[in-house]
Amino acid sequence: MKKYYELLGLPLDEVKEYFDNRKIKYTTTILQGKKDQDKLIYPRVIKITQKENNVELFVTYFSGSLK
């Protein structure tokens, strides 16, 4: 997956725009814990997996301290 390595850690909106511009189909899987959900507000892509005809984006939320 080296071709998508530079997208890891980016905000979800930027990664979606990247794939939309290239007309690549994708699905999004949200990974979310149970603690402090009110503080976790920034979705970031942490893993990208190539499927048959599309890409799967794994996303988790981070606190505002990463902004």
Give the model confidence (pLDDT) of 22-56 as tens digits: 999 999 999 887 777 777 889 999 999 998 889 99
Nearest to 13 by CA among 26, 31, 3: 26
Q: What DSSP element (H or E) covers 45?
A: strand 42-50
Query: Where do the domains of the chain lie?
Result: 5-63
**Going by C-beta distance under 8 Å and a sequence separation of 6 or more, which residues neighbour residue 54?**
24, 25, 26, 27
Distance CA 30, CA 32 (A): 6
**What pLDDT score does 63 carry?**
82
pTM of the model: 0.83
Distance CA 65, CA 30 (A): 20
